[in-house]
Amino acid sequence: MEETKEHKIVSFKTYIIILFLLISHTALSVFVTQIDLGNLSVIVALSIAALKSLLVFSFFMHLLYDKRMYAFMVAGVLMVMTLVLIITFLDYGF
């Protein structure tokens, strides 16, 4: 049986643009953390990392083009991780 459903072919141009964004955000995060912002630099560095991984998930891993189910499942896993992080910190900080 042949697969009849067409798979989306993502253009090289899209990948190059995303790569450019990823590299420029890496440079930005290096630059920002060289300035002394105290605890703010942790938040900035991790926000940039989160944005970069969002780009990788959406474009490189095709979550944007594949069935919605995959995106929902990834979101679910990330929610579980966040929940465990919060529950762990209930024992330590807050």
Partner 1 sequence: MTENNTHDHYDHEGSKLGMWLFIFTELLFFGGLFIVYAVMRYKNGTAFGLAAEELDVSIGAINTVILLVSSATIAMSISSIQLKKTKLTLILLATTLILAIVFLVNKYFEWGAKIEHGLYPGSESLEQLGHGEVLFFGLYYFMTGLHALHIIIGIIFIAVMMVKVKNGKLNVNRFVQLENAGLYWHLVDVIWIFLFPLFYLIA
- Residues in contact with partner 1 by CB under 8 A are 1-3, 7, 9-12, 15-16, 18-19, 22-23, 26-27, 29-30, 33, 41-42, 45-46, 48-49, 52-53, 56-57, 59-62, 66-67, 70, 73-74, 77-78, 80-81, 84-85, 88-89, 92-93
The string of DSSP letters for 13-79 reads: HHHHHHHHHHHHHHHHHHHHHHS--TTHHHHHHHHHHHHHHHHIIIIIT-TTTS-HHHHHHHHHHHH
Shortest Å distance, C-beta 38 to partner 1: 11
Amino acid at 65: Y
Q: Report the nearest approach of partner 1 to the CB of residue 52 (Å).
A: 5
